[in-house]
Amino acid sequence: MKLVFKWFDARSYNDREVFDAAANNKVVGFIATGRQDIGIHISLFDGNYKIRTSTYDECCGFVEGVESVLNHLLGVECSPGQKSQYHQSFP
């Protein structure tokens, strides 16, 4: 399992889908910002994993954490020291 989403500016109105790149880009959740409630709203796997975070880094950490736990439970091997796709520099 490899969860991916496009970069977004958390200060403005955004809706982003979260995809599982290892399952032919199946949509597994969404990320929403700019609602009446302050923060970044994340819902994965039909709402089984939900959170409201304050920053983009917290959002990335939550998605990475869910990915790691589910990969561990499913017995998926990850290469040690694999760099996260979320910690790239963006313009």
Q: How many helices (H) and strands (E) does the chain have?
A: 1, 5
| Joined tokens for residue 59 | 């959002």
Question: Across residues 5-33, what is the average pLDDT?
Answer: 92
In degrees, to the nearest 5, what angle opens at C-alpha 35 toward C-alphas 30 and 38? Answer: 100
pLDDT at 62 over 90: yes
pLDDT at 33 over 80: yes
pLDDT at 86 over 80: no
* Contact (CB, 8 A) for 71 and 82: no
Question: Across residues 26-44, what is the average pLDDT?
Answer: 91
| Joined tokens for residue 67 | 């990915």
pTM: 0.79
pLDDT at 36 over 90: no
Q: What is the pLDDT of residue 88?
A: 45
Confidence of residue 10 (pLDDT cuts 50, 70, 90): confident
